[in-house]
Structure 1
Amino acid sequence: MNRAQLGAALRALRVASDKEAKAVARSALMSPSKLSKIENAKLAPSTTDVERILTAIGVSDEVKAEYTEAARASATEATAWRLLKRMGVHKGQQAAKALEAQMSMLRLFQPALVPGLLQTPEYIRAILQRHNLSEDALTQTINGRLERQAVLYDNTKSLRFVITEPVLRWRIVPPQMMAAQLDRIASISRLSHVDIRVVPLEIQQHDIANHAFVIRDDRMATVETVHAEVVVTDPRDVDLYVEKFEGFQRIALTGEDMRNLIEDIRNNFLREQETG
């Protein structure tokens, strides 16, 4: 059931109950305007919204369970990478920039690559070349990602990154460029509102670094899978990602310990370059 079908179903249930929209909205602790937007598919309801509306309407527990589960499912939306590529990968950068402009806190976990906001131009190009973009599309997308990085210098926002040690060692670009990329991470980590942590390989782990994800405030988690970008908005599901992030954050190296690890890996890349 998509957003439109869910909204129409909620409206039909309300009409069948002979209850006016204003009365249902009041009982559901929301404005009549919000209820109207939900019923007309202009606003995606949370599972809490749906539960309150159905309670106000007075449906059975079975109906309530059915529709709250539908709301939970509709709060997870996947867009295949091939569709994003067709629309224009650079437009994805514009959309991300808009989201980052509105947020107050970003939490990003990355077990495979340097996070986009921390990437050097050379690293960005190497990553994007996997997508067989035209040179024009590649340039637009690189520029879009670099423009997004302006958010790093907005000290009204809290930016938190947790990456795993293999990210620092994964050879996306030649050794000298990898060393420059690690220098950038260390430099950005000194900004007062930016927290960068690295989960070291040498410590005992109690969780699995399944895949990358981004949490913007506590409202949305964006998950990167092999075939699609998945957007999660159900609060219960977002909480799962917050919990996972905080678990890795607690055991990760921070401050000078983190920068010392980065420096060791950086120096290894430079020695390799010199002897290569």
Structure 2
Amino acid sequence: MGSERQQRMKALGVRLRGLRAEAGLTGAVLAQRAGVGQPTVSKVENGRMVPSLDVLRRLTLALDLDEPTTHEVRDLLAAVEAAPDADETIGDEAPAGATLDDAVRSARLVRSFQCVVLPAMLQSAEYARHVFDSAPNATPEAVGRAVAARVERQSVLYEPGRESVFVLTEAVLRTWPGNPSLMLAQFDRLLAVDSLTTVRIGVIPWRRAVPVMPRHGFTLCDRRAVVVETFRGERVLDDSAEVAAYEETFARFEEAAIFGIEARELLLRVMQEFRELEDFTTR
């Protein structure tokens, strides 16, 4: 039968699939109207993924649901989130990072502040592998699937009409998994992404005081939701007052950061330090 959480996920998926059928839409058309990936629609309808509040909102709008039905679907999601489950693993049922990745994919404006780990959309495959591997009860197979999905979702960075702003503390650049070679490849990716006209990468140097003591990283998806990553999972906040507070906090971090040539010079300096570290460790 599966866990109670899995059963409620399936119930939500069945209901959404039925509503789509009633609307006479294919999964592909619904995904296009909602601005989400077709795999997201498929996974949600088959009870293999819990949609974020933002993704669910987009689906309900695309289905043109009336208010009572919208509330019904939201209640089904709330029941999923409230259901007990012994595992918060990286798997097909509730992949760690999936909520964040799908929320980012469906947003036209993404603003992410991180103080320890690189933003999901900037991670190289090997860096992401270490991130997913550190999740509770991770398995090699599940980690591989999660990494592949994350890399695939990063293609939105190259789509016109989107805007992404990333602000990191210098500590993020110096908090590294694996080995120096992994980080050298990661810096190559950061420099390549920073050259895109749709992306801005800012860094708060360690020599500059932070305007607010950071307690955790967060990602703003449009102006409607905030995704906060924790050790055990993800939290999606869509209360307008909370979103506004996070927007104000992001603006303060953004103001303290350096961008453009200054940021690239800092990236290159830290990258050189990793080259020197690599030389030292391979002697």
Deviations along 1:66-116, one digit per CA (max 9) or x if unpaired, are: xxxxxxxx9xx7899964417547745555444334321011111111111
Deviations along 1:121-169, one digit per CA (max 9) or x if unpaired, are: 1111122221342221111111111111111111211011111100001
The CA distance in 1 between the partners of 2:154 and 2:258, in whole Å, is 23
The partner residue of 1:134 within 131, 139, 143 is 139
The CA distance in 2 between the partners of 1:182 and 1:151, in whole Å, is 20
Deviations along 1:226-261, one digit per CA (max 9) or x if unpaired, are: 344211111011001111111100110100100100
**Alignment of structure 1 residues 104-183 onto 2, 5 Å:** 104-131=108-135, 132-183=137-188
**Alignment of structure 1 residues 179-218 onto 2, 5 Å:** 179-218=184-223
The verdict on how the C-alpha distance between 1:94 and 1:198 changes in structure 2, with shifts beyond 3 A counting, is same
Task: Return the letter of the residue paired with 2:130.
Answer: A
TM-score where L is the length of structure 1: 0.69
The verdict on how the C-alpha distance between 1:192 and 1:34 changes in structure 2, with shifts beyond 3 A counting, is same
Q: Which 4+ runs in 1 deviate beyond 6 A? A: 77-82
Task: Return the letter of the residue paired with 1:121.
Answer: A
The verdict on how the C-alpha distance between 1:80 and 1:110 changes in structure 2, with shifts beyond 3 A counting, is farther
The match for 2:256 is 251
CA contact (8 A) 1:78 1:229 kept: no
Q: Could you list the runs of 5+ residues in structure 2 that have no partner in the other structure?
A: 1-64
- Which deviates further from its counterpart, 160-169 or 84-93? 84-93
TM-score where L is the length of structure 2: 0.68
The match for 1:274 is 279
Deviations along 1:40-63, one digit per CA (max 9) or x if unpaired, are: 53358xxxxxxxxxxxxxxxxxxx
| SS at 1:243 equivalent | helix
Q: Could you list the runs of 5+ residues in structure 1 that have no partner in the other structure?
A: 1-32, 45-73
CA contact (8 A) 2:225 2:237 kept: yes
Determine what percentage of the aligned residue pairs are the same residue.
27
The CA distance in 1 between the partners of 2:86 and 2:211, in whole Å, is 34
| SS at 2:274 equivalent | helix
RMSD of equivalent CA atoms: 2.6
The CA distance in 2 between the partners of 1:86 and 1:122, in whole Å, is 16
Structure 2 residue 46 is matched with structure 1 residue 42: no
**Alignment of structure 1 residues 221-260 onto 2, 5 Å:** 221-260=226-265
CA contact (8 A) 2:184 2:274 kept: yes
Q: Number of aligned pairs?
A: 212
